[in-house]
Structures are given as C-alpha cells and as structure tokens.
Chain A
Amino acid sequence: AQKITQTQPGMFVQEKEAVTLDCTYDTSDPSYGLFWYKQPSSGEMIFLIYQGSYDQQNATEGRYSLNFQKARKSANLVISASQLGDSAMYFCAMREGAGGFKTIFGAGTRLFVKA
C-alpha cells in the first residue's frame, strides 16, 4: 500500500532564506513518481516539481529543488530564497506505476514566510 508522510505540520522561515520541507514515502512498486504541490489560501493546487523513481539527478525548477534519497525513501522539497508569496500549504504526493494511475497526498506542511 502507498503511504506518504509529512511530519512537519507547520514551518517558519525568514524571507530570503532557504527552507526544507520533509517527505517520506513507502511503496513496493519500483516505478513511481513523486510530486510537490502548493496550495495557497485560495484553495487551488499548483504543481511545483516532479521526480521519477528512475531519475538519476535531483529535480530542480527555479527556486524549487527536490532532494531525492531513494534508499531512505525521502523526497524533501527545498525552497531557496523564500518569498512572502511562498506562504502556503505544501503537499507531497506519490503516483505508483506508469502514468495514468492515481496519486495520493501527504498530510501537508503549512509554510509561513516572515518578513
């Protein structure tokens, strides 16, 4: 069975500093995808970054990078140079198998960026 764990209910970070949001996962499928989504207070879900289980390099998208440690089954999100607009809920998610399969989400981490 799939499982996504986010152990940080809330995180604070000073503006312009970097922050790491933790995510661990559990799956027996060798092929899977890991995602991070951002949900502002308005409610919409915004895709941030993707890491495939066979990808050799950590994914990066602008200020977002994914620290993928396969042996530890962790997929932490690193946000560099935090901005006030980064304050939101962040969800780690996993999709097992090839594309088109369902995606499950972790409990989420609420990030607060302080000015």
Chain B
Amino acid sequence: GAVVSQHPSWVICKSGTSVKIECRSLDFQATTMFWYRQFPKQSLMLMATSNEGSKATYEQGVEKDKFLINHASLTLSTLTVTSAHPEDSSFYICSAQTTGTLVTGELFFGEGSRLTVL
C-alpha cells in the first residue's frame, strides 16, 4: 500500500524559532499533498493544498507567510512554521493521493507531527 512518512513525530521549540516538518511519499509519487492541523480532541482542519512545482493553495484564514509550504519533488513536501508561538502548538498531519486513487480521492496520511512551542 501507499506509505506516507512524516518527520519529526515530536518537536518542542522555543517561541520565535522556525520548525520544518517533512512529508514523504515512500513508494509512490504524489503530485498533490495536503496539510492538516488538528487541535486536541478536535477535527482535522485543512490548511493548504501542496502541488509539486507550484505554489501551495492556502485555505481561508491560514497565514501563508507563517506556514510556508514547499513541494519541490514528487515525493517530498515540507511545512515550515515560521516564528512559532505557543498558539501554533498543534498536531500537524500531511496526506497524499496516489495516481491510483485520483478518482476516489482516498488519502494516505503521515504519522503526524506534534509541535509544542514553549
């Protein structure tokens, strides 16, 4: 099956620093990846759609200058939380579609990254 790997799983950083989260499709090429954010005991909120070789499409209310997304290759998308603050603490999870699921739209998820900003 399609495997998506996310790194790091846990990260703790000081307020004001930047944190990069990587999302890799291990056994398939992902032209589109999606980044979600999940607060404790809440649902997944779509932050942005990452397309290989082009700029990401951000959802309304998501600061694109704060959450930088780069999708430089067909197997890697990165999310950088710039100048992180405690309110950015959350569970960030990426997902991807394979060419085999373009019709259905089934998503394959990474393990998620839990960010804690002190």
Contact = CB atoms under 8 A, between A and B. Distances in A.
B108 interface: yes
A91 to B, nearest CB: 7
Contact of B101 (A99, A105, A106, A108): A99
Contacts, number: 65
A103 B46 contact: yes
Contact of B34 (A47, A98, A103, A108): A103
Interface in B84-118: 91, 93, 95, 97, 101-112, 114
Given A99-B97, A100-B97, A43 B111 contact: yes
Top-5 shortest CB links A-B: A45-B109, A99-B102, A95-B105, A99-B105, A43-B112
B104 A102 contact: no
B78 interface: no
A102 B44 CA distance: 12
B19 to A, nearest CB: 17
Interface string B15-52: 00000000000000000101010000011111001000
Interface of A: 33, 35, 37, 42-47, 50, 52, 91, 95, 98-108
A104 B46 contact: yes
B109 A44 contact: yes
B86 to A, nearest CB: 20
Given A99-B97, A106-B43, A108-B43, A44 B111 contact: yes
A105 B43 contact: yes
A102 B112 CA distance: 18
A52 to B, nearest CB: 7
Nearest to A104: B46
B105 A44 contact: no
Nearest to B104: A50
Contacts of B112: 43-45
B109 A103 contact: no
Contact of A45 (B93, B105, B114): B93
Nearest to B114: A43
10 contacts: A35-B107, A43-B112, A44-B112, A45-B93, A47-B106, A47-B107, A52-B104, A100-B105, A103-B34, A104-B46
A43 B112 CA distance: 7
